[in-house]
């Protein structure tokens, strides 16, 4: 951290040194996003308010195409590195997971339409970003805007749109870990009334720690102007992606003692080996494949100069197959033959082998069919001295998800034991035969009304939404994929009213303050299952009738902040927030005598914090970006029982860093109108966090440094070198199963040649 502060202290004066104004300070238009230096100003299509970003009483962040390309982002989780208050990673190596303001209850959108897998499972694979134009992030409770499950916020991935002016771009990237990536895209008018665009991407990588990836996707879009008032748009995305998981380093669950001396040999939470962070224990038989087809159809009707009607239909199908090691467990008790170490279970010495682990297997597959429809009426009214921007909408969503799991595993590789040093990773084939299928059929109807009011220096936002949720849940016994008998029938229904209220006051044309309050809801995913037993606080097993008493997750966010914009030089946004999550239920509270997981109600959580985003461009030669967030996310109320004695109110929520700092300084040199050099140096600091809510296993803070050199010898050609983790810092990016720590990538380099005409 000291090295980070020193280097940033040196970088900031470098940017201040160029404070002479330059009339050549250029603006680049990328779709609807305007970039000046590193400064972004744009309306937010997530909240759909026809106003500049600085005039809405919410916190939004926008990652424009220029920044995505310059920092070498090829993955949505990677792209969140510079966004304050957002944690993102690929869980188990391939499932994209996003924590916003301390909560993983967030919604992911594709061109404004929901990916329901994230709402149901909190994570899902996402393809590469060759077709992405920009990414929008809305912070905090947002059910009024997008429906259920949006507590932490919303991530909206916006794809490139067709243009009439012909353009073509292509790139080739080569990098560390055998990385190769090819992208190409083009747009043009195909008639006097129609424009088209197409993008393709293919990439392969052996991956850090053998976490290989193979990404292939294609995107096509057509816009048709039927008449001055009527417009149609169609878009399709197909992808076929493959990943291999990463299940981390197995750290010790106990203090471990030397059997010969009874002295402490290794502390709980440490890795008892000198093997490098690049060493993985992944089975080569593991896999994660994800195939996706998405189709968008849009219709826009300009009723008159003030009113618009839009229709957006969306269909998607996702097919996922997965098998992983999942658990890495040290051999104990009778399995620990010849052990030279032990741990204490009370006063009993339990032998443990600390030089090898046994691998657990876990597999599942699911297919997800989604159909959504969104009808919106927008218009402008003026009553007296007040202008109104009205949005009335109806949202429909249907999801049919069928998940096969509880597999029977056979083959020589099942339960294989690998040594920490020089492990034999492939110990034979593994076969799966599924024995259960869970079927989720979710139907949601939502109606909403929003009014954005403008009156002199005051801006007011008021919105309300009513959602009607119905889930038909069933469990079937299966013979692999063949359905046998249905063992569970359950209907879950929820109706929820959510809202948003906010105000912005413009103190000067460049400075304003705002405040807002918004709410959230998420249906409980509490189902009768042979795998989970729900226990009440007094220790009795809850009946099916008692499970119906569980209320939906609900929450509320209070937020206050400010915006400061000084011409083209400085943009500053700061916010403070307080979020409450009620009616929490967990299914990992322990293990019952019959082997089932223990679940039950546990209370509520609170996340409070501050966020700061600053973009400073004193001239066309220098610009500086800073993002900072402090997140204090904790359990506020915990319903304790004899199963949950290690967790108490006040404990921090799992996998949420206490603080995050992202800073980039850029130097831009234009040798001619076409020859441009850009140098960038950045740092990312991530605070400490805990692997689970017992707060026993703490992951230390980390600071890494990145750099970029981009050179355009001519207008159409760009050559770029990105070096990430410049000093090869060893640290952990996240954890799974409490004690499996995932080492982050070491130093890695990528070189990209881009053509744009």
> pLDDT tens-digit profile of 176-192?
999 999 999 999 999 99
**2: three-class secondary structure by DSSP:** helix
Tokens of 208: 């850090």
Q: What is the pLDDT of residue 671?
A: 92
Q: What is the pLDDT of residue 667?
A: 98
pLDDT band at 643 (very low <50, low <70, confident <90, very high): low
Tokens of 469: 């949720």
Q: What is the pLDDT of residue 45?
A: 66
Q: How far apart are CA 123 and CA 90, in angstroms?
A: 9
Q: Tokens 């008021």 identify what position?
A: 462
Q: How far is CA 151 from the centre of its chain?
A: 13
* Mean pLDDT within 617-633: 96
Instruction: Tell me the per-residue pLDDT of 286-303, one tens digit each, with 9 for 90 and over.
Output: 999 999 999 999 999 999
Q: What percent of the chain has pLDDT over 90?
A: 79
Contact call for residues 710 and 720 (beta carbons, < 8 A): yes
- State the number of CA atoms in the 13 A half-sphere of 97 facing the CB: 22
Short-list 576, 627, 622, CA closest to 80:
627
Q: How far apart are CA 309 and CA 290, in angstroms?
A: 35
Of 71-85, 226-240, 542-556, least confident by mean pLDDT is 542-556
Give the burial class of 489: count Cβ atoms within 10 A of its Cβ; 0-12 exposed, 13-18 middle, 19 or more buried.
Answer: exposed
- Going along the chain from its start, the domains and CATH numbers come out as 2-157+168-199+207-756 (2.40.170.20)
Q: What is the pLDDT of residue 10?
A: 36
Q: What is the pLDDT of residue 53?
A: 85
pLDDT band at 44 (very low <50, low <70, confident <90, very high): low
- Whole-angstrom CA distances from 375 to 189, 453, 497, 553 are 28, 22, 19, 27
* Mean pLDDT within 97-112: 95
* Alpha-helix runs per DSSP H in 423-538: none
Q: Look at the alpha carbons of 106, 111, 115, 118 in this order and tell me if their dihedral is positive or negative.
A: negative
Contact call for residues 482 and 439 (beta carbons, < 8 A): no
How are beta strands 341-345 and 748-756 bridged, if at all?
A: unpaired
User: Rounded mean pLDDT of the chain?
Assistant: 90
E-strand spans in 303-435?
Answer: 307-332, 341-345, 348-383, 386-405, 408-410, 417-419, 431-433
Element (H, E) at 119: helix 116-121
Question: Which carries the bigger pLDDT value, residue 642 or residue 542?
Answer: 542
Global pTM value:
0.91
Contact call for residues 166 and 740 (beta carbons, < 8 A): no
Q: How far apart are CA 53 and CA 40, in angstroms?
A: 9
Residue 61 neighbours by CB distance under 10 Å: 24
Q: How far apart are CA 718 and CA 678, in angstroms?
A: 11
- State the number of CA atoms in the 13 A half-sphere of 377 facing the CB: 8
Q: How far apart are CA 521 and CA 467, in angstroms?
A: 10
Contacts of 196-201 spanning 24+ positions with Cβ under 8 A: 196/162, 196/220, 196/221, 196/222, 196/223, 197/160, 197/161, 197/162, 197/163, 197/221, 197/222, 199/130, 199/131, 199/159, 199/160, 200/130, 201/127, 201/128, 201/129, 201/130, 201/131
Q: How far apart are CA 441 and CA 445, in angstroms?
A: 14
* Mean pLDDT within 444-466: 97
Q: How far apart are CA 642 and CA 644, in angstroms?
A: 6
Q: Tokens 């292509």 identify what position?
A: 170
Is residue 597 pLDDT above 90, yes or no? Answer: no
Q: How far apart are CA 313 and CA 302, in angstroms?
A: 18
Contact call for residues 427 and 341 (beta carbons, < 8 A): no
Short-list 117, 149, 95, 123, CA closest to 403:
117
pLDDT band at 28 (very low <50, low <70, confident <90, very high): very low
Is residue 144 pLDDT above 80, yes or no? Answer: yes
pLDDT band at 645 (very low <50, low <70, confident <90, very high): low
Is residue 733 pLDDT above 80, yes or no? Answer: yes
Contact call for residues 247 and 326 (beta carbons, < 8 A): yes
Instruction: Tell me the per-residue pLDDT of 388-443, one tens digit each, with 9 for 90 and over.
Output: 999 999 999 999 999 999 999 999 999 999 999 999 999 999 999 999 999 999 99
Q: Number of H helices and number of E strands within the chain?
A: 6, 45
Residue 7 neighbours by CB distance under 10 Å: 17
Is residue 237 pLDDT above 80, yes or no? Answer: yes
CA angle 86, 88, 89 (to 5 degrees): 165
* Mean pLDDT within 504-533: 89
Is residue 9 pLDDT above 50, yes or no? Answer: no
Rg (CA), the chain: 27
Tokens of 503: 């105000």
pLDDT band at 729 (very low <50, low <70, confident <90, very high): very high
* Mean pLDDT within 15-37: 35
Q: What is the pLDDT of residue 642?
A: 57
- State the number of CA atoms in the 13 A half-sphere of 181 facing the CB: 27
Q: How far apart are CA 740 and CA 247, in angstroms?
A: 7
Tokens of 676: 């441009």
Q: How far apart are CA 252 and CA 268, in angstroms?
A: 5
E-strand spans in 509-621?
Answer: 511-522, 532-534, 553-566, 570-586, 597-616
How are beta strands 717-724 and 702-714 bridged, if at all?
A: antiparallel
How are beta strands 106-110 and 153-159 bridged, if at all?
A: parallel
Residue 497 neighbours by CB distance under 10 Å: 12
Short-list 674, 636, 669, CA closest to 653:
636
Which residues contact residue 196 at a Cβ distance below 8 angstroms, ignoring those fewer than 6 apart?
162, 187, 188, 189, 190, 220, 221, 222, 223
Q: Tokens 């600053």 identify what position?
A: 614
Is residue 30 pLDDT above 50, yes or no? Answer: no
Q: How far apart are the first and last CA of the chain?
A: 43
């Amino acid at each position: 951290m000291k090295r980070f502060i020193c280097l940033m202290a040196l970088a900031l004066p470098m940017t201040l040194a160029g404070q002479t104004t330059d009339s050549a300070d250029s603006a680049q238009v990328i779709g609807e996003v305007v970039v000046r230096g590193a400064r972004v100003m744009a309306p937010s299509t997530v909240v759909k308010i026809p106003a500049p970003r600085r005039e809405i009483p919410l916190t939004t962040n926008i990652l424009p195409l220029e920044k995505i390309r310059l920092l070498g982002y090829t993955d949505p989780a990677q792209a969140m590195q510079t966004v304050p208050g957002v944690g993102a990673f690929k869980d188990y190596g391939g499932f994209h997971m996003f924590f916003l303001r301390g909560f993983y209850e967030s919604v992911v959108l594709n061109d404004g339409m929901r990916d329901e897998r994230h709402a149901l499972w909190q994570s899902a694979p996402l393809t590469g970003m060759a077709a992405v134009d920009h990414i929008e992030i809305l912070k905090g409770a947002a059910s009024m805007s997008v429906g259920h499950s949006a507590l932490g916020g919303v991530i909206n991935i916006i794809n490139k749109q067709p243009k009439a002016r012909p353009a073509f771009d292509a790139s080739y990237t080569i990098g560390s870990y055998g990385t190769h990536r090819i992208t190409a895209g083009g747009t043009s008018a195909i008639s006097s009334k129609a424009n088209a665009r197409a993008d393709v991407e293919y990439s392969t990588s052996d991956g850090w720690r053998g976490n290989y990836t193979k990404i292939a996707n294609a995107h096509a879009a057509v816009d048709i102007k039927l008449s001055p008032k009527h417009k149609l748009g169609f878009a399709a995305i197909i992808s076929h992606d493959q990943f291999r998981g990463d299940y981390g380093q197995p750290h010790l669950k106990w203090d471990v003692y030397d059997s010969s001396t009874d002295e402490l040999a290794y502390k709980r939470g440490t890795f008892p080996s000198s093997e490098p962070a690049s060493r993985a224990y992944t089975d080569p038989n593991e896999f994660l494949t994800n195939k996706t087809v998405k189709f968008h159809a849009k219709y826009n009707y300009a009723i008159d100069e003030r009113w618009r009607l839009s229709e957006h239909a969306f269909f998607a199908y996702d097919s996922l197959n997965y098998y992983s090691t999942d658990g890495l467990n040290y051999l104990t008790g009778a399995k620990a033959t010849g052990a030279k170490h032990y741990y204490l279970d009370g006063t009993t010495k339990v032998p443990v082998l600390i030089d090898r682990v046994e691998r657990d297997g876990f597999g599942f597959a699911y297919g997800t069919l989604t159909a959504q429809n969104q009808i919106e009426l927008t218009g402008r009214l003026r009553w007296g001295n007040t202008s109104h921007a009205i949005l009335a909408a109806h949202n429909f969503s249907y999801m049919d998800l069928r998940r096969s799991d509880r597999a029977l595993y056979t083959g020589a590789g099942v339960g294989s034991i690998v040594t920490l040093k020089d492990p034999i990773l492939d110990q034979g084939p593994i076969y799966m035969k599924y024995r259960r299928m869970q079927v989720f059929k979710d139907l949601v109807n939502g109606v909403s009304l929003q009014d954005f009011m403008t009156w002199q220096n005051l801006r007011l936002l008021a919105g309300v939404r009513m959602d009607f949720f119905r889930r038909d849940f069933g469990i079937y016994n299966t013979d692999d994929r063949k359905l046998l008998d249905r063992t569970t029938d359950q209907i879950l229904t929820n109706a929820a009213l959510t809202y948003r209220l906010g105000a912005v006051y413009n103190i000067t044309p460049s400075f304003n303050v705002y405040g807002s309050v918004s709410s959230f809801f998420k249906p409980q995913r509490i189902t009768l299952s042979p795998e989970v037993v729900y226990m009440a606080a007094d220790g009795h097993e809850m009946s099916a009738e008692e499970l119906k008493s569980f209320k939906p997750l609900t929450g509320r966010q209070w937020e206050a902040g400010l915006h400061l914009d000084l011409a083209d030089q400085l943009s500053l946004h700061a916010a403070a927030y307080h979020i409450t999550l009620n009616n929490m239920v967990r299914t990992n509270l322990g293990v019952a005598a019959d082997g089932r997981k223990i679940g039950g109600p546990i209370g509520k959580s609170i996340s409070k914090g501050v966020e700061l985003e600053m973009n400073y461009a004193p001239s066309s030669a220098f610009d500086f970006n800073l993002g900072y967030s402090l997140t204090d996310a904790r359990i506020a109320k915990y319903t304790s029982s004899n199963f949950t004695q290690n967790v108490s109110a006040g404990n921090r929520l799992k996998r949420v860093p206490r603080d995050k700092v992202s800073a980039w300084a850029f130097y831009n040199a234009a040798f001619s109108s076409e020859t441009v050099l850009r140098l960038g140096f950045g740092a990312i600091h991530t605070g400490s966090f805990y692997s689970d809510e017992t707060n026993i296993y703490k992951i230390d803070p980390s600071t890494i440094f990145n750099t970029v050199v981009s050179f355009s010898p001519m207008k159409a050609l760009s050559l770029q070198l990105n070096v990430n983790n410049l000093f090869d810092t060893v640290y952990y990016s996240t954890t799974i199963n409490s004690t499996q720590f995932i080492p982050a990538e070491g130093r890695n380099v990528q070189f990209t040649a881009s053509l744009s005409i």
